[in-house]
Amino acid sequence: MWVFCGDTESLLAIGVTDGAEYKGQLKKLVRCLNNPLQQVCRRLSEITTLETRINLSDDIFTSQGLKLVHNLGPIPKGLRNIELEQFKKIVSHNFVLTIHSYSNCDAYCFVKGSFVVQIHNILKNIQTDIRIVGKRYTRHEPLFNYPFESCQLDTYLAYNLHEDYECWSFSNIIFKCISFPHGQK
């Protein structure tokens, strides 16, 4: 599970498979106002059946999973001569991802190569190849190291958002991420 705690410069990340479902569950894990993050970590460590990875199913590659057609870009230079459809949202039975300008809450993911990405466009070509266009955070580190490293819970502090847009194949997404404000960095 990933959760992102951050402002525009830093994010705490904990990946989730279904953001709407886990938001309510995260609220239920906090019992008082003191040290809410520590409470969530303790409660999560007690749960033994927590699913941590997105199960990318074939249904996402059908046009039914892609929603809200637009033509606002951005499109990377290498893809500008290819006929592409642009979307604001991907809906699956496991998760929802959106572009950052549509919904900040669902616009983050963790991709192969250990990058946290802020999603700015969702592209589909004629061969149903789906790509995400976004900006990656150049650094991420464990949020805490005691009593164990937070990366064991897939929880990170991500920062230094790169200025350039990059493109990733949709099959390279490992986690969906959500963001929360965080005062550090």
**Is 29 part of a structural domain of the chain?**
yes
**Each residue's pLDDT expressed in tens, for the chain with a length of 185 residues:** 444 444 334 444 555 445 556 566 667 777 777 777 777 777 666 653 334 434 444 444 444 488 899 888 888 887 877 888 999 998 876 778 999 988 888 899 888 887 889 999 999 987 778 899 999 999 888 888 988 898 888 788 888 899 999 999 988 888 888 777 776 55
**Is 127 part of a structural domain of the chain?**
yes
CA dihedral 162, 165, 169, 170 (to 10 degrees): 80
**Is 2 part of a structural domain of the chain?**
no
Domain range for 23: 10-177
**Is 185 part of a structural domain of the chain?**
no
The full length of the chain comes to 185
Cα–Cα distances in angstroms (integers) from residue 93 to residues 15, 18, 21, 65, 127, in the given order: 16, 8, 12, 9, 23
The tokens for 149 are: 């490293």
**Is 1 part of a structural domain of the chain?**
no
Give the Cα separation of 16 and 53 in Å (integer): 8
Strands (E), the chain: 10-13, 15-16, 66-70, 84-91, 96-98, 108-111, 115-125, 130-142, 156-161, 166-169, 173-177
**Is 167 part of a structural domain of the chain?**
yes
Contact 70, 86 (CB under 8 A): yes
**Is 92 part of a structural domain of the chain?**
yes
Domain count along the chain:
1
**Is 183 part of a structural domain of the chain?**
no
Q: What pLDDT is attached to residue 50?
A: 37
CA nearest neighbour of 165 among 103, 77, 88, 86: 77
